Chain A
Amino acid sequence: MDVRALTQGGVRRALVLAATLIAGALAVFFAMKAAPGDPALTALGENARPDLVAAFRHAHHLDLPVSAQFALWIGGAARGDFGQSLTLAGGVPVASLIATRLPVTAFIGAYALVLAVALSLVIGTVSALQRGRLADTIGTSFAVLGVSMPDFWLGYVLIFFLALNFPVFPSYGFVSPTASLRGALLSGFLPALAIAAPMAAVFARTLRAALLEVLHREYVTVARSLGFGPRFVFFHYVMRNALIPYVTVLGLQVRYLLGGVVVIERIFGIPGMGSLMVDGAFGRDYPVVQACALTFLAIVLLTNLLVDALCARLDPRRAA
């Protein structure tokens, strides 16, 4: 492989990544400014005196022109300083808020992803191999159900059955994995499942379709006729090729995972990035919302990179 071409590719990718981040930051910033509302009134109450409001706006540079505000913010963000929270936690650095919230969301997100992958691998494979039989019908029905159920509704259904009627899991709250891993796995299960179910459905359908397509390829027939065992053929010829579209869809779905996190965290009272962002939006806490959105954007971009790398590993032709 040409090392120079590879570095050039890397540099190009890094530049595209940075440009996307800046464009995203711009979009987020101006969307927040365009939305009505005033953090001063949120922080000081509806009967705040005008001079207090003016002082608040001045202290937080809200009286500067929008372009100057953006320059201030992006300059700080580049140095990892996202400013101070205006209304949510008056005066607390946003970076420290994110530092405490991000690991929680990462845990729930990873938990959901693991559940979704595990569920979809089983359902997708069984459906494909048992095509047209009962197992396939059940698997496909599950997939349709999963896609059609909104995650917040599923969240409440899960609470109703698995926390209130059969108290297996806590109905509310979250135990940090650093405090108790068992507590975290238990309290994170329902929210993770609520986020995972719709994703698992999409993954399972993708995998089933991909497997069915590969199963009827000539090279699979050839491999079989060469006398390889069914298990060997399945893992080395069928699964490996079917995984490429699967992994691509998986990467794309990370966006929805982040969307799900925003809603589900609020329902289950999980102190993560999603609830932070929602609260920030309601409280017109511009620095918090902007920092959260930028973090989410960075996660999506990094996931895309990761998926590309994974696909290249699975399919060496792509690496070129």
Chain B
Amino acid sequence: MDTQQGQRGPTRREVFRAGTAIAASSLLPPPALAAADATIRAGITGYDVVNTLDPAYAALIPEYYLIWAVYNALLKFNADMQPVPDLAESFKVAENGGLEFKLRQGVKFHDGSTMTSDDVKFSFERLLDDKAPSPNKSKVSAISAIDTPDPLTVRLQTKEPFAPLLTFLANARTGTQVVPRKVVQADPTGFGRKPCGTGAYMLKTWNPNQALRFAAHTEYFVPGLPTIGTVDVPLIAEETSGVTALLGHQVDLTSTAPFADVPELAKRQDIKVLRQAGLNTRFISLNNRKPPFDDVHFRRAVSLAFDRNVLIRVVLFGEGVATSGLIPPSLKASYDPTPKPLTIYNAQRAKEELAKSKYQAGTAATMLTWGAGWWKRIAEVIAAQVNQTLGTQFTVEVNEANTVFSRLKSGDYQCSVWGWLGMIDPDEYSYDILHSQGWRNFAYYSNPKLDELLVAARRELDAAKRGQMYRESEALWIQDMPILPCFCSNVHNLLARNVSGFTQLPYSNFGDQFATLTLSG
């Protein structure tokens, strides 16, 4: 309180005058905020752990949310999820799959140094270096040689054409963001806490598990951007608290929203809800080597025995779409919209398939899942439906997430709720999960025809032809039902009414949009 002692209090008339002045000013148009002085509060919700901002070692989504603001990659995605130039000015794809990038001139890192082709080379070589292994190595492992004929040209060679490489060089969950050689080499282990990139924002302060503060990079290569001077990023562990923070004007933007609240929030006038089907896929992984899922008829029977739309209603509160394959709808070129009868609830057909199978009603199976979030709920809803339709005895076992994962990897399970999100190439949704050599093939599925098709799709550089191959692949494996596709959930962002300039992309983007945000009023 600033009131000095002995001073007389305001008279009634003065209070009235002040009141009318405030009321009058609220009728006037709001003054435009001086953007450079403005601060926007962009809350990361549902997570509060950020370990590193080094793209080579990032593994968690919240880490990428911020990496996307601090760095750029050679490419980025446009609103149609097509890779377009970012640090590169242009790029060419050779017939043998080699890539040539012309870099933008005069791009500055946060330390003021200029980005060159050597930094790009260093960034990729770092991911490939086995002495300090990166979890993102697989994104660049197709590269066999990196040439830098001049400071603004980068040529990448591959042993054989590898179509996903182009996608992997975009500023997404890839780790291929460009870092400055000098800064990293000066302090390789400390770089994750003192990041330096070319991005629109640079890290100012970092309170572990609480908040991070970013300041505009004044030499950012896009003229006129970023618009806002400071971005504060509180780490909000509870998604629900993120909603109350936004409604109470403590944050201006959130990275996610709780599914249960979205339908109500969407009706409100004081906030904006952005949503679309996300880049993710949720399915039941079936262990094709273990009874009862070693029988194709039993697998089909289970797939026919539950209604995916019930999952959408009960688990997602309507915030998602049922899927009949692994590739999500937002990968438009590869997604197959044709409904597949084997993934549509049909009690009659389910029983027919069960009759053909070597297992009968009364067969027991355990659905492995873990306690956090919706996973347990998905398993319960499916088990209840399947048991009702087929008379089976499916039960749900809840375990700790890492334990579940290691049991999947070692094949010590019958079936499990599973899914992936944030991946950006159809190859990651098909080859990784269903190719006999795929590293996430926990179904232990092996189909030589599918293997052949997925390898061919990797080598196909023509986007349209490649997309067609993925559509064929989905029609092929669905007959064997090695996994049960379930749904693709929406991604959400909540924005205060006065925030604009956020373009939502289906892979749940965040920090890459900070540069264009504006505040009004």
Residues of A at under 8 Å CB distance from B? Answer: 35-38, 41-49, 51-52, 85, 87-92, 97, 100, 156, 159, 163-164, 167, 170-173, 266-269, 271, 275-276, 278-279, 283-284
Q: In the complex, what's the smallest C-beta–C-beta distance from B454 to chain A, in angstroms?
A: 19
Whether A45 lies near B245 (C-beta < 8 A) is no
Contacts A45-B135, A170-B250, A279-B48: A88 and B244 contacting too (C-beta < 8 A)?
Answer: no
Contacts A41-B402, A41-B405, A275-B237: A97 and B208 contacting too (C-beta < 8 A)?
Answer: yes
Question: Which label, helix, strand, loop or mixed, suits the secondary structure of the A interface?
Answer: loop
Q: In the complex, what's the smallest C-beta–C-beta distance from A189 to chain B, in angstroms?
A: 13
Q: CA separation between A307 and B192, bound complex, in Å?
A: 47
Q: CA separation between A85 and B400, bound complex, in Å?
A: 21
Whether B133 lies near A51 (C-beta < 8 A) is yes
Q: CA separation between A156 and B248, bound complex, in Å?
A: 12
Smallest CB gap from A85: residue in B: B208
Contacts A89-B208, A267-B238: A171 and B245 contacting too (C-beta < 8 A)?
Answer: yes
Question: Which label, helix, strand, loop or mixed, suits the secondary structure of the B interface?
Answer: loop
Whether B251 lies near A266 (C-beta < 8 A) is no
**Of residues 183 to 210 in B, which have CB atoms within 8 Å of A's CB atoms?**
192-193, 207-210
Whether B400 lies near A52 (C-beta < 8 A) is no
Residue B49 is within 8 A (CB to CB) of chain A in the complex: yes
Whether B241 lies near A271 (C-beta < 8 A) is no
Q: CA separation between A41 and B248, bound complex, in Å?
A: 36
Q: CA separation between A91 and B194, bound complex, in Å?
A: 14
Whether B241 lies near A269 (C-beta < 8 A) is yes
Whether A172 lies near B251 (C-beta < 8 A) is yes
Q: CA separation between A275 and B240, bound complex, in Å?
A: 15
Whether B49 lies near A88 (C-beta < 8 A) is yes
When distances are taken between beta carbons in the complex, the residues of chain B under 8 Å from A92 are 208
When distances are taken between beta carbons in the complex, the residues of chain B under 8 Å from A41 are 402, 405-406
Q: In the complex, what's the smallest C-beta–C-beta distance from A56 to chain B, in angstroms?
A: 11
Smallest CB gap from B210: residue in A: A271
Residue B51 is within 8 A (CB to CB) of chain A in the complex: yes
Q: In the complex, what's the smallest C-beta–C-beta distance from B187 to chain A, in angstroms?
A: 13
Contact partner, A269, options B60, B208, B245, Cβ 8 Å:
B245
Contacts A49-B133, A51-B133, A97-B208: A43 and B51 contacting too (C-beta < 8 A)?
Answer: yes
When distances are taken between beta carbons in the complex, the residues of chain B under 8 Å from A87 are 49, 51
In the complex, per-residue mask of B471-497: 1 if CB is within 8 Å of any chain A CB, else 0: 000000000000000000000000000
Whether B402 lies near A276 (C-beta < 8 A) is no
Greatest chain A CB density within 10 A among B133, B193, B209 is at B209
Q: CA separation between A261 and B213, bound complex, in Å?
A: 26
Given contacts A52-B133, A269-B245, 10 further A-B contacts (CB under 8 A): A36-B402, A37-B401, A51-B133, A90-B51, A92-B208, A163-B248, A170-B250, A171-B244, A271-B210, A283-B49
Whether A35 lies near B400 (C-beta < 8 A) is yes
Smallest CB gap from B52: residue in A: A90
When distances are taken between beta carbons in the complex, the residues of chain A under 8 Å from B238 are 266-267, 269
**Of residues 208 to 250 in B, which have CB atoms within 8 Å of A's CB atoms?**
208-210, 234, 236-238, 240-241, 244-245, 247-250
Q: In the complex, what's the smallest C-beta–C-beta distance from B279 to chain A, in angstroms?
A: 17
When distances are taken between beta carbons in the complex, the residues of chain B under 8 Å from A52 are 133, 135
When distances are taken between beta carbons in the complex, the residues of chain A under 8 Å from B60 are 45
Whether B405 lies near A46 (C-beta < 8 A) is yes
When distances are taken between beta carbons in the complex, the residues of chain B under 8 Å from A278 are 237
Greatest chain B CB density within 10 A among A37, A47, A51, A275 is at A47
Smallest CB gap from B208: residue in A: A89
Whether A171 lies near B247 (C-beta < 8 A) is yes
Whether A88 lies near B403 (C-beta < 8 A) is no
Contacts A163-B248, A172-B250: A268 and B241 contacting too (C-beta < 8 A)?
Answer: yes
10 intermolecular pairs with C-beta atoms under 8 Å apart: A38-B402, A41-B402, A91-B193, A92-B208, A159-B244, A164-B244, A171-B248, A172-B244, A173-B250, A266-B237
Q: CA separation between A280 and B49, bound complex, in Å?
A: 10
Residues of B at under 8 Å CB distance from A? Answer: 48-49, 51-52, 59-60, 133, 135, 192-193, 207-210, 234, 236-238, 240-241, 244-245, 247-251, 399-403, 405-406, 439
When distances are taken between beta carbons in the complex, the residues of chain A under 8 Å from B237 are 266, 269, 275, 278-279
Contact partner, B248, options A36, A48, A100, A159, Cβ 8 Å:
A159
Q: CA separation between A172 and B234, bound complex, in Å?
A: 10
Q: CA separation between A11 and B311, bound complex, in Å?
A: 63
| Shortest 6 CB-CB contacts between residues of A and residues of B | A171-B248, A45-B59, A89-B208, A172-B245, A36-B400, A172-B250
Greatest chain B CB density within 10 A among A45, A173, A268, A279 is at A173
Whether B49 lies near A279 (C-beta < 8 A) is yes
Whether B248 lies near A167 (C-beta < 8 A) is yes
Q: CA separation between A42 and B405, bound complex, in Å?
A: 12
Smallest CB gap from A167: residue in B: B248
When distances are taken between beta carbons in the complex, the residues of chain B under 8 Å from A167 are 248-249
Q: CA separation between A204 and B237, bound complex, in Å?
A: 34
Q: CA separation between A276 and B207, bound complex, in Å?
A: 12
Smallest CB gap from B135: residue in A: A45
Q: CA separation between A62 and B133, bound complex, in Å?
A: 20
When distances are taken between beta carbons in the complex, the residues of chain A under 8 Å from B399 are 36
Q: CA separation between A289 and B53, bound complex, in Å?
A: 24
Whether B245 lies near A44 (C-beta < 8 A) is no
Whether B403 lies near A37 (C-beta < 8 A) is yes
When distances are taken between beta carbons in the complex, the residues of chain B under 8 Å from A43 are 51, 59
Whether A37 lies near B248 (C-beta < 8 A) is no
Q: In the complex, what's the smallest C-beta–C-beta distance from A170 to chain B, in angstroms?
A: 6
Q: CA separation between A76 and B403, bound complex, in Å?
A: 30
Whether B49 lies near A164 (C-beta < 8 A) is no
Q: In the complex, what's the smallest C-beta–C-beta distance from B348 to chain A, in angstroms?
A: 39
Q: CA separation between A85 and B402, bound complex, in Å?
A: 19
Q: CA separation between A87 and B48, bound complex, in Å?
A: 11
When distances are taken between beta carbons in the complex, the residues of chain A under 8 Å from B59 are 43-48
Whether B133 lies near A276 (C-beta < 8 A) is no
Q: CA separation between A151 and B247, bound complex, in Å?
A: 21
Smallest CB gap from A49: residue in B: B133
Q: CA separation between A100 and B209, bound complex, in Å?
A: 12
When distances are taken between beta carbons in the complex, the residues of chain A under 8 Å from B51 are 43, 87, 89-90
Contacts A37-B402, A48-B135: A173 and B245 contacting too (C-beta < 8 A)?
Answer: yes
Greatest chain A CB density within 10 A among B48, B52, B400 is at B48
Q: CA separation between A275 and B241, bound complex, in Å?
A: 13
Smallest CB gap from B404: residue in A: A36
Greatest chain A CB density within 10 A among B49, B249, B250 is at B49
When distances are taken between beta carbons in the complex, the residues of chain A under 8 Å from B210 are 271
Q: In the complex, what's the smallest C-beta–C-beta distance from A265 to chain B, in angstroms?
A: 9
When distances are taken between beta carbons in the complex, the residues of chain A under 8 Å from B49 are 87-88, 279, 283
Whether A163 lies near B244 (C-beta < 8 A) is yes
When distances are taken between beta carbons in the complex, the residues of chain B under 8 Å from A51 are 133
Q: CA separation between A173 and B235, bound complex, in Å?
A: 10
Q: In the complex, what's the smallest C-beta–C-beta distance from B278 to chain A, in angstroms?
A: 18
Smallest CB gap from A288: residue in B: B209
Contacts A42-B402, A163-B244: A89 and B209 contacting too (C-beta < 8 A)?
Answer: yes
When distances are taken between beta carbons in the complex, the residues of chain A under 8 Å from B401 are 37
Smallest CB gap from B57: residue in A: A44
Contacts A267-B238, A269-B236: A170 and B402 contacting too (C-beta < 8 A)?
Answer: no
Whether B241 lies near A172 (C-beta < 8 A) is yes
Q: In the complex, what's the smallest C-beta–C-beta distance from B370 to chain A, in angstroms?
A: 10
Q: In the complex, what's the smallest C-beta–C-beta distance from A251 to chain B, in angstroms?
A: 31
When distances are taken between beta carbons in the complex, the residues of chain B under 8 Å from A45 are 59-60, 135
When distances are taken between beta carbons in the complex, the residues of chain B under 8 Å from A275 are 48, 209, 237
